Amino acid sequence: MTLQGKVAVVTGGSRGIGRAVATVLAREGAVITLCARDRVLLEKVAAELESLGAQALAVQADVTRASEVEQMIGACVERFGQVDILVNNAGITRDNLLLRMKDEEWDAVLSVNLKGVFQCTRAVLRPMIKQRSGRIINLTSVVAVMGNPGQANYVAAKAGIIGLTKATAREVASRGITANAVAPGFIETDMTHALDPELQEQMRSQIPLGRFGRPEDVAELVAFLASDRAAYITGQVIHLNGGLWM
């Protein structure tokens, strides 16, 4: 186990990629704090982790609300004494063509997908700086570098995450903290199941490995970046997309 004694926070840990990340980090020995807005789902995942022998804390929190983020990180430090790993995974889509995009659709996506990452990162920096160690892993997307019609808000937020990750990495490297971004292609989750089946098929046909990724594919990469084996990697964007973008 590579993460024995580490304490991890996973935002959006109740479903999809976040749930798989929490499970793999727990398998590697980490203690997990999970947040999302739906308390019922969150507690179900925490119970699953505990049934695997891990310690888990479920905190209902909306990453767009700074006070809830501060409370969630506070609850983690109070319960487990530290925070070693932050996985900024919570994300939403509100797709529309630019010409038709409403202000609310733009604001909602930027608020969860970019401001949420900023707020969670700011909240963990004090304890991590005090510890002089930490791992921050941000979920961006292949579309941040490829663009995608109908997703200007999402693409802008995910491209923003790449810049935020690099700025974070430069600011805190001297304190023993690394910050990296993981950029998945199309992964089988609720987010992609919501896409039009024809569009899904069209996307699949462009993937050299011939399939969408699984949440576990992403989780294994996150677990590596969270471990001591990735100690010399910072400010990077690591792509995993079945060859969709090279």
Interacting residues toward ligand NAP by CB under 6 A: 11-12, 14-18, 35-38, 41, 62-64, 89-92, 112, 139, 141, 184, 186-187, 189-192
Q: Which is nearer to ligand NAP, 71 or 133 (CB)?
A: 71
**3-state class (DSSP) for residue 19:** helix
Residue 159 to residue 114: CA distance in whole angstroms: 9
Q: Find out whether 234 and 178 touch, Cβ atoms under 8 Å.
A: yes
Q: Which is nearer to ligand NAP, 101 or 108 (CB)?
A: 108
Q: Side chain identity at 246, as an amino acid letter?
A: M
Smallest distance, Å, CB 39 to ligand NAP? 8
Distances 144 to 152, 162, 183 between C-alpha atoms, Å: 10, 8, 8
Which residues, 6 or more positions from 4, have their beta carbon under 8 angstroms from its beta carbon?
Answer: 28, 29, 30
Smallest distance, Å, CB 210 to ligand NAP? 16
Catalytic residue among 80, 106, 154, 186: 154
Q: Which is nearer to ligand NAP, 141 or 180 (CB)?
A: 141
Smallest distance, Å, CB 90 to ligand NAP? 4
232 catalytic residue (yes or no): no
Active-site amino acid positions: 154
